[in-house]
Structure 1
């Protein structure tokens, strides 16, 4: 009698965990404006500070792991947290909740932008200023925990300087690698805080299958596209390769998508640019720009195919990497390397705070005043992010009249 009851209770617990992950991720998908770096700030506030689903070090290391992987880093971090919290399906619902609002809003809002020219309105400017406060808030919190001494502060500052001076698709990956080597040199003999064990509810055999499937699709889709001469195979191949081969997130994928989609004649250049404007205005991952392009190329089925194709590599790579994470983190040399890597993550966020977040949002003293106000609401008054977003929107509309 007890066994079925135990199983039933366990099932209830699993469904409750999935519902919790879905609810939180939908909230983030509706309120996370500002691009991938700002998303990490929202995640940090919601998942780490408020709900404590991961500790600070593990979160920074997960961010670093996802920076190594091609694809949308913020979406991959969300998938990883969902998997850690509620298993494989937790990763899926975390992605679905974070992505779906943007998919729906982007297709609708992109056409509104085309029709009414809303890209320069004050409330969108307010959203950009919100991103300044969110990223600064994340840097403040992570910096206190991850750069506690002068060596790691120096790594963070030098990383930020190089990231700003040398911007390419691979600069972040190389900076993380170099910082890891510096960490081994500086900290291999120092006592390192014990690494908390993170339960990864995925088997290594499944991880290997996912990695093999990732590479199989990467090489098979171009061949199938040539042999089949199907427009749907062409769309799947173009978006899957975009999601598989791009480091650095949403902005970096845009030139590749323009080459693949506009050159093929699926979308007109002016429609591509209109969609890019919409992608800056809606919350959630910039990779959902693919949903807009897919809708123009093939209606609702095209939007669904493009969305799945561009995000599938991210999911396969996260599932394929996480089961090996704990074992790697137990190595003393790797812990020393991670001390340097974590400092580099703070530096990369610091660089992103200036460019593109600050440079695209702060152009006059009133913008700076609003950004400081929003930062104080987050840091001092502990206001929830959605209320800070609303305040930023209203503030941006007021600034538009000054």
Structure 2
């Protein structure tokens, strides 16, 4: 293991600055973020070995939530304790969250002077972004008949039962199906992760996670309060999103659009803008919170609520990961869940993304050009978003 004696040798401030730089340059989504982290912490700084890094990534992909942010939290934890975990998350998240809250505030205050065509262009680009995500995930996670079937069923259920509880039920049933259908081969020998959290502490973090997941809906029901309802909705989304990244789209849409917190148009415009900023896609929550009427206050609350499960889960799961990663049953359940979340994202590609963006041949043409630009020309997402907004303004 590389450089394990240096554990806790860094201050939280230095960890923050390292991750702040990564938060400013990490375009390209979760997979690209993990590549940036590997270059920085395995190849350059040698904070941990290649194998340990792979183990850490495997853990974070196994848990619900944004994998790249959870890897960052764990790396910060390994260098400067709990303060380092918070510093790593803050540094990586701050640039994109700030930009998206500013965009939401500007959108609400200056909507009359912003071109409706430019906003429509952002929604059309979102079609291409989600289509690229569906294709890429399906190739790796639904590459046989059983997985493709689970994907299809999950998409159909999500479209026919368009409620948050329907999506949660799909994930649960897919996990049970994976237990029965998939039996991955036993894993090879694993290398211990360069982080020590006691099992007792892990149980406390996991207990707090479950307490909030079960208690917040009850509190929001018995104590009607807009802020409490917001925290409940975003915490629940952060707790139930397997696969991270674009998979957050259908669950967030189910929480904020039917309730009237955010309109379809604002939701999709913000999702398109999220592709133009670096850092984790979960900062889309900051945009949605800020769009609900109180700007920075609700933006920060939504951001903290959606990321809170990531902290609790990564710190709670670390002590038990050695046992979990050797369980072929757990791996089978995860295979079923992964196929289901691709289906949920496929459903979201149709409703609300496609149905609220593609109305005429020019819209389809722009979405097609954006998709080719992302998948084959390999243009950076921020450039595709900017050009898409400009094109929307011209064809309006």
What residue is the counterpart of 1:43 in the other structure? 29
What residue is the counterpart of 1:229 in the other structure? none
CA–CA distance in structure 2, aligned partners of residues 200 and 317 of structure 1: 18
Question: 1:328-359: per-residue Cα shift (whole Å, max 9, x none)?
Answer: 23211111122222211221221111111111
What residue is the counterpart of 1:103 in the other structure? 101
1:338 pairs with one of 330, 334, 349: 334
2:69 pairs with one of 74, 79, 89: 79
CA–CA distance in structure 1, aligned partners of residues 188 and 339 of structure 2: 17
CA–CA distance in structure 1, aligned partners of residues 363 and 186 of structure 2: 42
Map 1:1-80; keep pairs closer than 5 Å.
11=10, 18-26=16-24, 43-48=29-34, 62=60, 65-66=63-64, 76-77=66-67, 79-80=69-70
Contact 1:279/1:289, CA 8 A, preserved across alignment: no
The TM-score with structure 2 as length reference comes to: 0.69
Corresponding position: 1:170 with 2:165: yes
What residue is the counterpart of 2:185 in the other structure? 191
5+ residue gaps, structure 1:
1-5, 32-41, 67-72, 227-233, 259-271
Aligned in 2, Cα 1:60/1:9: closer, same or farther, shift over 3 Å?
closer
What residue is the counterpart of 2:42 in the other structure? none
1:374 pairs with one of 367, 370, 373: 370
- Tell me how far 1:45 sits from its aligned partner: 5.0
- Tell me how far 1:274 sits from its aligned partner: 8.4
Partner SS for 1:172? helix
Partner SS for 1:285? helix
- Tell me how far 1:316 sits from its aligned partner: 4.7
Tell which deviates more after alignment, 277-286 or 81-90. Answer: 277-286
Bigger fraction of residues in helix: 1
CA–CA distance in structure 1, aligned partners of residues 207 and 375 of structure 2: 44
What residue is the counterpart of 2:345 in the other structure? 349
- Tell me how far 1:21 sits from its aligned partner: 3.5
- Tell me how far 1:127 sits from its aligned partner: 0.9
CA–CA distance in structure 1, aligned partners of residues 164 and 95 of structure 2: 28
Contact 1:195/1:329, CA 8 A, preserved across alignment: no
CA–CA distance in structure 2, aligned partners of residues 202 and 100 of structure 1: 32
**Aligned length in residues:** 345
Corresponding position: 1:327 with 2:323: yes
Map 1:1-400; keep pairs closer than 5 Å.
11=10, 18-26=16-24, 43-48=29-34, 62=60, 65-66=63-64, 76-77=66-67, 79-87=69-77, 88-89=85-86, 90-113=88-111, 116=112, 118=114, 121-188=116-183, 191=185, 199=193, 201=195, 203=197, 204-211=199-206, 215=211, 237-245=228-236, 249-254=251-256, 277=266, 280-281=269-270, 282-283=273-274, 284-291=283-290, 293=292, 295=294, 302=297, 306-307=301-302, 310-311=305-306, 313-323=308-318, 324-325=320-321, 327-400=323-396
Question: 1:155-178: per-residue Cα shift (whole Å, max 9, x none)?
Answer: 212221222121111222211221
RMSD between aligned residues: 4.3
What residue is the counterpart of 1:267 in the other structure? none
Aligned in 2, Cα 1:273/1:339: closer, same or farther, shift over 3 Å?
closer
CA–CA distance in structure 2, aligned partners of residues 206 and 94 of structure 1: 25
Contact 2:208/2:312, CA 8 A, preserved across alignment: no
